[in-house]
Amino acid sequence: MTDLQEAISQVFAPDGALTKTIDGFQSRASQVEFSLAVANALENRQSVVVEAGTGTGKTFAYLVPALLSGSKTIVSTASKTLQDQLFKKDIGLICNALGLMADVAVLKGRNNYLCKMRLENLQSLGMLPEKDSYVRLKKIIDYERMSEVGDINEIVGVPDNDPLWPWVTSTKDNCTGSKCPHFEDCYVTQARRRAKEADVVIVNHHLFMADLSLKDESLGEILPSADLVIVDEAHKLADVGMDYFSNMFSLWELKDFCDEGRILGRVWVKSVDWDKEFAAVREASLGILEAVHDSLGLDYDTEHNIADIEGFAEAMDAPMKALTAAVGRIAEDFAQVQNVNDELALFAQRALELYVNVQAWDRVFKEASKVKIVNDVPSVLWLRLTEQNVTFSNTPLSVSGHFRKARSDMNNAWVYTSATISTKKGDGRADFSYFLDQLGLDPETETHSWQSPFDYNYQARFYLPNDLPGVFSPDFSEALVEATWPLLQKTQGRAFFLCTSYRSMESIAECLRARMGANFTLCVQGESAKTELLERFKSADNAVLVGSMSFWEGVDIKGESLQLVIIDKMPFAQFDTPLARARSDWLKSRGKNAFMQYQLPEMITMLRQGVGRLIRSERDFGVVVFGDNRIVEKSYGRIVMDSLPPMIRTRDFGRVYSFLDNPDEAY
């Protein structure tokens, strides 16, 4: 055993530093083994994949070896909320227990920080996006005067979608960099400096992927180099990566371009009719929208493989020519005035880049039937149409090659961890093949799977009601509510309905409203922000929350507030989308079973997340009600069932009701 491994064993021992100094800390064998696996990966500069069930204590398991070793460490999490938890709570607890000093930095994307120059310009030049913007602007100004970090997530009273935000934050397109008079005291500059100096840097997956995509293209880096890279909630990394390695273009991008350019031009250069110039871009954008919807007859809120759209190139020819000409004129106009100041020079560069990009997309549209292949992986050219926007995307069918290439020059250790990474093989062992393939990891990569320490057989039941119709039946939602209503009455609410679609969510909410009176509090996704909805749920003693996919993970409610988790059906993704169809066809062409090696593992990962909302501590108890009969009717149902926590499974309503009445007697 190495010195680091010995130190880890002592720290996690029943009489070790963590137990002595942290109230409620319990040493668990799986947590120690996890931590030792991290130490081994660090000492041998290799990768390790760790699946750790809820309650294992994975955060402490990976932070202890990182801190004890003094290694430069990057931790990437799934959300800003988890970033803040690591920074404000977990690392401090460990350092205090171990008597260590660690320099820790949180780094977020550029648009999470106030831009001092843009905030000054907004005030001095009067570029307010709305008449009453000054009310929220005052809150931003008051915060900026007192803040050392400029994190907009700390500002209270300004909605996330307020049109002020783009004017008080910066992007890579409008940041003047070292030319800015505030460069030295810029919040982004300071945050990145702290990250370079820190022992531990905490980022989220989006920033992490932005950095990897730059490395992949040999364009530099955002994050400092590190000895150890820890990817928490690693099951989400491939999906985030898909966006960063795709080439996208949308009408919203053109709208942002017009909004900013028009105001900049009107403020600094009075001699040009900027309203007219940018109106031409907006008119061309409308022409693209009309071509896709009217000329090609595509419905709103749909996605399409462009290669399958008859007459696409012809329909897009005129509006793309008009857009190219309009953007080209703006690029020429700003080139003439770029010497006035740095902001105009930067926008002139942005206009030129957009002009080049529009030309490139025009060529792509003319050759839509040609498949782009990078690293032996084809891509699919597709579009998403809504009433106000069209998004075009050229998306690779796999990002494994990009991940592999980005990591190839890094001689460091990587730890990938989540509660849900694997499925089950026929012999019951964890199968990591889908995850390894997604991220381009060697099939021989070291893997571990540690079950949750919670006693699921004692704490939980998995209930599949009898006589439910099929999940595609028009009466399904009503039947599911009918089957669970006695349980809801027994628990007095305290339930989550996790739905696989907005349509299902709305249908179930409607059925519940028809039954519920003043004795229940109904919380439905969309009625208010997610955080507000959860606070309302936790503060009420009789609440039922009905939500779609955003509530399936990242929600941690311990205790008696949550005793029922009702899942309508298996959360299969929409496999009739252009990307899913193309990926399935590609896998089949390589001799693979698209359902078993792509669609099923994706679904199981999400289902495990949803089921995992129920038991969050040793003291929790409750029932998972599952409405999808396919789990007992289809051959793949056994794989699904075996991948879930080892709860007692039953179709007997009486056993479930008795369990909720007295868990100890029902065991």
Question: What pLDDT is attached to residue 374?
Answer: 67
Range 94-101 contact pairs with CB under 8 angstroms and sequence separation of 24 or more: 94/18, 94/60, 94/63, 94/64, 94/67, 95/67, 96/21, 97/11, 97/17, 97/18, 97/20, 97/21, 97/22, 98/11, 98/17, 98/64, 98/67, 98/68, 99/17, 100/67, 100/68
Q: What average pLDDT is seen over the chain?
A: 91
Query: Domain residues of the chain, as ranges?
Result: 3-103+198-240+401-450, 110-189, 247-396, 456-666
Q: What is the mean pLDDT of residues 27-49?
A: 95
pLDDT tens-digit series, residues 253-300: 999 999 889 988 988 888 899 999 999 999 999 999 999 999 999 999
- The pair of structure tokens assigned to 512 is 């519940």
Return the closest-CA partner of residue 197 out of 230, 223, 228: 223
Asked if 194 contacts 124 with a C-beta cutoff of 8 angstroms, the reply is: no
pLDDT tens-digit series, residues 184-243: 999 999 999 999 999 999 999 998 988 877 654 443 466 778 899 999 999 999 999 998
Instruction: Using DSSP bridges, classify how beta strands 228-232 and 413-418 pair: parallel, antiparallel or unpaired.
Output: parallel
How many CB atoms sit inside 10 A of residue 145's CB?
7
pLDDT tens-digit series, residues 96-144: 999 999 999 999 889 899 999 989 888 887 777 788 888 899 999 999 9
Q: What is the pTM of this model?
A: 0.89
Question: What pLDDT is attached to residue 147?
Answer: 92
Question: What pLDDT is attached to residue 295?
Answer: 94
Cα–Cα distance measured from residue 479 to residue 201, given in angstroms and rounded to the nearest whole number: 49
Least confident span in 93-97, 175-179, 522-526: 175-179
Type and span of the H or E element at 216: helix 205-216
pLDDT tens-digit series, residues 391-443: 999 999 999 988 888 887 788 999 999 999 998 877 778 899 999 999 999 99
pLDDT tens-digit series, residues 520-574: 999 999 888 788 899 999 999 899 999 999 899 989 899 899 999 999 999 998 8
Give, rounded to a whole angstrom, the gap between the first and last alpha carbons of the chain: 42
Asked if 480 contacts 508 with a C-beta cutoff of 8 angstroms, the reply is: yes
Domain 456-666 classification at class level: alpha beta
- List, in sequence order, every beta strand (DSSP E) within 322-376: 373-374
How many CB atoms sit inside 10 A of residue 151's CB?
18
Instruction: Give the burial class of 428: count Cβ atoms within 10 A of its Cβ; 0-12 exposed, 13-18 middle, 19 or more buried.
Output: exposed
Check pLDDT > 90 for residue 26.
no
Looking at residue 163, its amino acid is: P
Asked if 508 contacts 567 with a C-beta cutoff of 8 angstroms, the reply is: no
Type and span of the H or E element at 165: helix 165-168
What are the residues whose beta carbons fall under 8 Å from the beta carbon of 162, sequence distance 6 or more?
A: 133, 136
Question: What pLDDT is attached to residue 219?
Answer: 37
Q: What is the mean pLDDT of residues 166-188?
A: 88
How many CB atoms sit inside 10 A of residue 294's CB?
10
Return the closest-CA partner of residue 236 out of 619, 602, 510: 602
Domain 3-103+198-240+401-450 classification at class level: alpha beta
Identify the band that residue 347 occupies on the pLDDT scale cut at 50, 70 and 90.
very high
Instruction: Give the burial class of 81: count Cβ atoms within 10 A of its Cβ; 0-12 exposed, 13-18 middle, 19 or more buried.
Output: middle
Residue 107: φ, ψ to 5°: -125, 125
Residue 627: φ, ψ to 5°: -100, 5
Question: What pLDDT is attached to residue 375?
Answer: 67
Cα–Cα distance measured from residue 219 to residue 20, given in angstroms and rounded to the nearest whole number: 48
Q: What is the mean pLDDT of residues 464-476?
A: 95
Question: What pLDDT is attached to residue 519?
Answer: 84
Identify the band that residue 379 occupies on the pLDDT scale cut at 50, 70 and 90.
very high
Q: Tell me whether domains 3-103+198-240+401-450 and 456-666 share a fold.
A: yes
Question: What pLDDT is attached to residue 109?
Answer: 87
Q: What is the mean pLDDT of residues 68-88?
A: 89
Question: What pLDDT is attached to residue 323?
Answer: 97
